C-alpha cells in the first residue's frame, strides 16, 4: 500500500520523498507501514511547511517521522493527543486528504463545542471508503461555519444527498441576502428540509419578500452594464468573442426571466441571471472567449449580487433548461 499516485503525486508522498534524503529509509518505512501510520504522518505534515524548512529542520523532522510512535508524533506536533483522534485517523484507512482536513480534524477533537461531531465520528466502528471521503471532511468544513452547524442530522445528509459545499453556499447566501437571520434559524431550516429536494430550496422560505427583479439595483452599480436590447447583445458577443448574438439568447432577453450583464470591474465577464422556481440565481458566468473566470472574480460578484437576493451557487454554468 502507498499514498495514492496520479499525474501529480500526493502532497504527503512528495514531502516524505524529500525528507528521505535526510533520514534514508524513511520512505520505505512509510510505504511498508500501515494506513494508520501514514494517516498520522499526513496529520503531522499538515502543520509543517516542509518546502521552507532548513536542512537542519528537515533532518530533525525526518528522524521524528521515522522513529517516533504515532501518539508521540501527534503530541509533539499538535501539543496534545486527544482521545479518539488517532482512532479516527485509523478509520480513514487509505483515504488521504488535504492538509486543511487534518488540521481541522484535530481542532474538532479539542473543541468543547464540537462534542456532537466527535461523538458521531467515534461511535462509528469503521468508515467505508465513500463515508471517509465525504463525511469527516464535510464535518470539518461545517465547523468552519460555526459550531452551531455541527449537528448529527446534517452529518447524516452528507453521506446521502447533500454536499458540504452546497450547505456552505446556502449559508453564505442567506447570511448576505437576509442579514436578520440567525445561524440557529438557518440550521433549523436545514435540519427540517425535505431530503428529497435540492438543498437550495431551503432559501425559498426566507425570500418571500425578495422575489423582485434585481435589474434596478445592478443597473445602478458603476461596474455593471445591463443588456436590454439585441444590439447590445451583438456588441457584447463581438467584444467577448462569444455566442450572445445567437437568436436563442435574444429570445431569453425578451421573455423577461433572464438578465444579461457585463461586468467591467477587475476580471471582465458576462453574466446571465435567471429566475427559476421563484429564485433569482447566477446561471452563467464567463470571461472573454467563454473562459472561466477566476475564483477572485466570482467571489467579488457573489458579494455584490447575493445581498440583492441573487443566489450564486457556483462559478460553472448550470443546465440551461
One domain for residues 154 and 105: no
What's the pTM?
A: 0.85
Which of 245 and 96 is assigned the larger pLDDT?
A: 96
Domain boundary among 178, 208, 238: 208
Separation CA 40–CA 20 (nearest Å)? 17
Length of the chain: 321
Do residues 130 and 181 share a domain? yes
> Is there a single domain that holds both residue 63 and residue 155?
no
Q: Judge if 91 and 23 occupy the same domain.
A: yes
Over residues 168-224, the pLDDT tens digits come to 999 999 999 999 999 999 999 999 988 788 888 889 888 865 567 899 999 999 999
List, for residues 77-93, the tens digit of each pLDDT value.
Answer: 999 999 999 999 999 99
Contact indicator for 62, 20 with CB cutoff of 8 Å = yes
Which residues are CB-contacts of 224 (< 8 A; sequence separation ≥ 6)? Answer: 218, 261, 262, 263, 264
Domain match, 194 and 233 both: no
- Residues 229 and 178 grouped into a single domain: no
Does residue 105 form part of some domain? Answer: yes
> How far is the C-alpha of 232 from the C-alpha of 216, rounded, in Å?
17
Q: Buried b vs exposed e over 265-274: b needs ≥16 C-beta within 10 Å?
A: eeeebbbbbb
Which is nearest to 172 in space by CA: 197, 202, 150, 151? 202
Q: Once rounded to an integer, what is the mean pLDDT over residues 242-263? A: 86
163 and 178 co-located in one domain: yes
Other CB atoms within 10 A of residue 82 CB: 16
CB atoms within 10 A of CB 292: 14
**Do residues 14 and 92 share a domain?**
yes
Tens of pLDDT, residues 68-78:
999 999 999 99
Q: Are residues 204 and 135 both part of a single domain?
A: yes
Question: For residue 84, what is the DSSP state?
Answer: T
pLDDT in tens, 228-244: 998 999 999 999 999 88
Which range marks the domain in which residue 94 is found?
1-110
Q: Using a CB cutoff of 8 Å and minimum separation of 24, what contacts does 123-127 make?
A: 124/91, 126/91, 127/91, 127/92, 127/93, 127/95
Structural domain includes residue 320: no
Number of domains composing the chain: 3
Q: Give the three cell numbers for residue 304.
A: 455584490
The CA distance from 150 to 138, in Å, is: 10
Contact in structure between 117 and 139 (CB atoms under 8 Å): yes
Amino acid at each position: 500500500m502507498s499514498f495514492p499516485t496520479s499525474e501529480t503525486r500526493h502532497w504527503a508522498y512528495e514531502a516524505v520523498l524529500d525528507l528521505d534524503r535526510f533520514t534514508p529509509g524513511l520512505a520505505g518505512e512509510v510505504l511498508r507501514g500501515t494506513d494508520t501510520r501514514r494517516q498520522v504522518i499526513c496529520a503531522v505534515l499538515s502543520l509543517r511547511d516542509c518546502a521552507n524548512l532548513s536542512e537542519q529542520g528537515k533532518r530533525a523532522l525526518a528522524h521524528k517521522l521515522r522513529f517516533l510512535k504515532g501518539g508521540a508524533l501527534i503530541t509533539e506536533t499538535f501539543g496534545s493527543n486527544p482521545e479518539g483522534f488517532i482512532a479516527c485517523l485509523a478509520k480513514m484507512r487509505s483515504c488521504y486528504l488535504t492538509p486543511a482536513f487534518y488540521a481541522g480534524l484535530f481542532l474538532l477533537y479539542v473543541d468543547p463545542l464540537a462534542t456532537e461531531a466527535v461523538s458521531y465520528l467515534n461511535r462509528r466502528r469503521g468508515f467505508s471508503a465513500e463515508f471517509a471521503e465525504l463525511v469527516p471532511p464535510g464535518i470539518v468544513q461545517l465547523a468552519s461555519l460555526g459550531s452551531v452547524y455541527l449537528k448529527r442530522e446534517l452529518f447524516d445528509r452528507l453521506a446521502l444527498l447533500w454536499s458540504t459545499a452546497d450547505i456552505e453556499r446556502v449559508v453564505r447566501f442567506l447570511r448576505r441576502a437576509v442579514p436578520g437571520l440567525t445561524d440557529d434559524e438557518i440550521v433549523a431550516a436545514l435540519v427540517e428540509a425535505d431530503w428529497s429536494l435540492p438543498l437550495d430550496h431551503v432559501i425559498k422560505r426566507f425570500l418571500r419578500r425578495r422575489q423582485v427583479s434585481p435589474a434596478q439595483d445592478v443597473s445602478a452599480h458603476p461596474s455593471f452594464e445591463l443588456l436590454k436590447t439585441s444590439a447590445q447583445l451583438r456588441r457584447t458577443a463581438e467584444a467577448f468573442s462569444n455566442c450572445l448574438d445567437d437568436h436563442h439568447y435574444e429570445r431569453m432577453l425578451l421573455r423577461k426571466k433572464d438578465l444579461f450583464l457585463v461586468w467591467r470591474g477587475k476580471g471582465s465577464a458576462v453574466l446571465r441571471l435567471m429566475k427559476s422556481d421563484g429564485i433569482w440565481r447566477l446561471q452563467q458566468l464567463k470571461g472573454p472567449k467563454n473562459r472561466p473566470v477566476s475564483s477572485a472574480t466570482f467571489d467579488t460578484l457573489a458579494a455584490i449580487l447575493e445581498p440583492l437576493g441573487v443566489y450564486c451557487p457556483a462559478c460553472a454554468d448550470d443546465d440551461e433548461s
